[in-house]
Chains A and B, each alone.
Chain A
Amino acid sequence: MSTAVPLVTVQAPRGGGRAVGLLRGTGLAGIASAVVIGVATIVAVIGPLVAPYSATLPNLALAFVGPTGGHVLGFDFQGRDVLSRLLAGATSSMLGPLAVVLGALLAGTVLAVIAAWRRGVADAVISSGLDILFAFPGILLAVLAAAVFGAGLPAAAISLAIAYMPYVARVLRGAALKERSQPYVAALEVQGASSTTICLRHIVPNIMPLIVAQATILFGYAMVDLAAISFLGLGVQPPAANWGVMISENQVGIPQGYPLPALAPGGCIVAVVIAFNVLGERLFEQAQARR
């Protein structure tokens, strides 16, 4: 702690705040989306516990039997209860995108703040590095990773995090650059605050609304891409329950006139992705309006 008396007391504008504060002003659609996301999160946590029947034990005698009492969504291609598989599959379907978003945001924020803070050569190197990374579409990188490391959720999640990172970093770099040129940053520097302190305690909290908005939008994309990779057989491996896997394995029922076991997980994905898209869009508008 320095004992020098600061010449000016600077009150850095506080961004972020609590989740409730962020939600206020997103409107009815935003709140409805938050509710859908909340429900999906709860199901992801307790789904496997509350599933009424086994999600993996097949009973071929019941294959593609329609909804009956106690089995509201009927049975899948191996005679397993569709509702139980939906509930059990929520965990990997939600946890995968969460990992992708956290990875992409962490790396993207660090790079963006470093580029904005150091400017000059560091910024030029990071920015052109990011431009080059844009060359790899996420799904393609994940397929390449599956070919090399074998199919599985971790390899797919890491590939997607790497592929999404440049998008995050590009948006946040712009915001961080703007923050960097604010007078309060210069004042903090004059007072002798270390660059780590200024970045972590002031710049990052001030771009937090934008980070949260990015995370929300990315979650939807990550859910679609990860489900696609599981659908292709390169992500979560059957018999484990997962929404993407369920669509892929129950596809055979569609020509036979039993679309429900494939449509139900599809509906879950669409509902959750709409919620993340709508809420993310609102949060993004809010974050932009704030600056």
Chain B
Amino acid sequence: MRLAFLARRLAMLVASLLVASFVIFGALYLAPGNPIAALSGGRSLPPSSLKILEARYHLNQPFLAQYWYWLSNALHGNLGISITLRENVTTLIASRIWTTAGLVLYASVIILVLGIGMGLLSGLRPGLLDTSVLVSSAVSAAIPSFVAAIVLVALFAVKLRWFPALGNGTDLLSNMRHFTLPAFALALSSLAIVARVTRSAIREEADREHVQTAVSRGIPRRQLVRKHILRNAAIPITTISGITIASLIAVAAVVETAFSLNGLGAYLVTSAQDKDLAVVQGISLVLVTAFVVINVAVDLAYAVLDPRVTLGSRAT
């Protein structure tokens, strides 16, 4: 991989994170009223508490200095204090981050295994199977996570009683059981998109001249698929998988709320409803960072798979 490419991507990563953190911090000043009102969420606080808030956010200093203090605190793991729970935001995040990470990971595995698997099957075996994958993926791609959630609960939790409907589990095994329906709700539409892209990538590669040549040379089908079709099709498949998995981080908030899971996203939503700005800022920062880092990782994987990318010819 070219060093210049790596350097450019990392510079973009830092720039993205700086801008994102600036927006997240600047939200304080966009709010109607003064920053104190935004930080207290419209609650009337005693003067001593206001003094503490003022000192904590260095509100008597210029805007950029405030941002700098806030950012360097955040980088040191200090994200402020929740106004509703009066607890450290970092502690509150740490206790919930594994629920979200586990959910996203579980959904990612489902997407990769089932999405790519179905795409491969339907791409390599034209016919009835292909048509049914095509139609079912067109429908599932349009099913929002929260609609999938209520359908799955109605079917598998209420009617068949296979899985619990709500809440986290207590140990690893019960966690898996509790997370199965949420993970499928989260994965469903992405799974369909990945399957469709995989299918068309396989089809496109199979029609290429070099594959036709390989066929005429009598290369065994197994080898043909693995070395000639999959190698090239892997490029778009990696990209779409990476993009959809990164997008799960935001959608997880919806699924966690639908299933009452005690994760970061659900907590972000209740904090937004309660106008607990320190928590909203902290969680936004964590989620945006994860989103940007995954996106850059996908770009780098893409460059490894397709060396042409690093030569600087940007796709339009």
A55 proximal to B (CB < 8 A) = no
Q: Which of A2-10, A146-154, A202-210 contacts B (4 or more CB under 8 A)?
A: A146-154
Q: What B residues does A132 contact at CB under 8 A?
A: 12, 15-16, 19
Q: Which size bracket describes the interface of B in this complex?
A: 35 or more
- A97 and B153 CA atoms in complex are apart in Å by 27
Minimal beta-carbon separation of B84 from chain A (angstroms): 12
- Asked if residues A251 and B258 are in contact (CB atoms below 8 Å), the reply is yes
Within 8 A of A (CB), among B1-37: 12, 15-17, 19-20, 23-24, 27-28, 30-32
Q: What A residues does B129 contact at CB under 8 A?
A: none
A278 proximal to B (CB < 8 A) = yes
- Asked if residues B291 and A135 are in contact (CB atoms below 8 Å), the reply is yes
Complex partner residue of B144 from A136, A150, A234, A269, CB under 8 angstroms: A269
- Asked if residues A146 and B250 are in contact (CB atoms below 8 Å), the reply is no
When A135-B16, A228-B254 are in contact, do A234 and B284 touch as well, CB less than 8 Å? no
Within 8 A of B (CB), among A250-291: 251, 254-255, 257, 259, 262-263, 266, 269-270, 273-274, 277-278
Q: What A residues does B157 contact at CB under 8 A?
A: 255
B275 proximal to A (CB < 8 A) = yes
When A232-B269, A254-B150, A263-B154 are in contact, do A147 and B291 touch as well, CB less than 8 Å? no
Minimal beta-carbon separation of A25 from chain B (angstroms): 19
A227 proximal to B (CB < 8 A) = yes
- Nearest chain-A residue to B247 (Cβ)? A137
- A266 and B149 CA atoms in complex are apart in Å by 10
A173 proximal to B (CB < 8 A) = yes
Q: What A residues does B280 contact at CB under 8 A?
A: 143-144, 147
| Chain A CB within 10 A, most for which of B19, B254, B271 | B254
Complex partner residue of A255 from B24, B27, B165, B284, CB under 8 angstroms: B165
Minimal beta-carbon separation of B314 from chain A (angstroms): 9
Q: Residues of A within 8 Å of B, CB-based: how many?
A: 47
- A32 and B46 CA atoms in complex are apart in Å by 62
Complex partner residue of A228 from B23, B139, B145, B295, CB under 8 angstroms: B145
- A149 and B12 CA atoms in complex are apart in Å by 30
- Asked if residues B27 and A147 are in contact (CB atoms below 8 Å), the reply is yes
B273 proximal to A (CB < 8 A) = yes
B59 proximal to A (CB < 8 A) = no
Complex partner residue of A147 from B138, B142, B277, CB under 8 angstroms: B277
B141 proximal to A (CB < 8 A) = yes
When A228-B145, A233-B269, A263-B151 are in contact, do A149 and B32 touch as well, CB less than 8 Å? yes
- Asked if residues B12 and A247 are in contact (CB atoms below 8 Å), the reply is no
Complex partner residue of A173 from B151, B268, B284, B316, CB under 8 angstroms: B316
- A220 and B273 CA atoms in complex are apart in Å by 26
Within 8 A of B (CB), among A46-65: none
- A247 and B145 CA atoms in complex are apart in Å by 12
Minimal beta-carbon separation of B286 from chain A (angstroms): 11
- Asked if residues B158 and A255 are in contact (CB atoms below 8 Å), the reply is yes
Q: What B residues does A184 contact at CB under 8 A?
A: none
B288 proximal to A (CB < 8 A) = yes
Q: What A residues does B28 contact at CB under 8 A?
A: 148
Within 8 A of B (CB), among A203-238: 220, 224, 227-228, 231-234
Minimal beta-carbon separation of B63 from chain A (angstroms): 16
- A86 and B57 CA atoms in complex are apart in Å by 46
A177 proximal to B (CB < 8 A) = yes
Complex partner residue of A135 from B17, B269, B276, CB under 8 angstroms: B17
- Count of A-B contacts with CB under 8 A? 143
- Asked if residues B273 and A138 are in contact (CB atoms below 8 Å), the reply is no
- Asked if residues A277 and B273 are in contact (CB atoms below 8 Å), the reply is no
- Asked if residues A274 and B151 are in contact (CB atoms below 8 Å), the reply is no
Contact with A along B268-305 (1 / 0, CB 8 A): 11011101110010001001100110010000000000
When A147-B277, A266-B151 are in contact, do A135 and B288 touch as well, CB less than 8 Å? yes
Minimal beta-carbon separation of B6 from chain A (angstroms): 16
| Chain B CB within 10 A, most for which of A131, A135, A254 | A135
Complex partner residue of B269 from A143, A220, A259, CB under 8 angstroms: A143
- A135 and B15 CA atoms in complex are apart in Å by 10
B82 proximal to A (CB < 8 A) = no
- Nearest chain-A residue to B255 (Cβ)? A228
Minimal beta-carbon separation of B309 from chain A (angstroms): 15
When A135-B288, A270-B147 are in contact, do A147 and B271 touch as well, CB less than 8 Å? yes
When A131-B12, A227-B144, A263-B154 are in contact, do A234 and B139 touch as well, CB less than 8 Å? no
- Nearest chain-B residue to A271 (Cβ)? B142
B245 proximal to A (CB < 8 A) = no
A139 proximal to B (CB < 8 A) = yes
- A247 and B148 CA atoms in complex are apart in Å by 11
A-B CB contact pairs (8 Å), 14 listed:
A131-B16, A134-B295, A144-B27, A144-B272, A144-B284, A146-B273, A148-B31, A148-B277, A228-B254, A231-B257, A247-B147, A263-B154, A266-B151, A270-B142
7 closest residue pairs by CB, A with B: A174-B316, A137-B250, A266-B147, A147-B272, A273-B142, A135-B16, A274-B142
A sample of 10 more A-B contacts (CB under 8 A), given A231-B146, A254-B158, A269-B147, is A132-B16, A135-B291, A137-B287, A144-B27, A173-B316, A234-B272, A244-B146, A247-B146, A259-B154, A270-B147
Chain B contact residues, CB within 8 Å of chain A: 12, 15-17, 19-20, 23-24, 27-28, 30-32, 38, 138-139, 141-147, 150-151, 153-154, 157-158, 165, 247, 249-251, 253-254, 257-258, 268-269, 271-273, 275-277, 280, 284, 287-288, 291-292, 295, 316
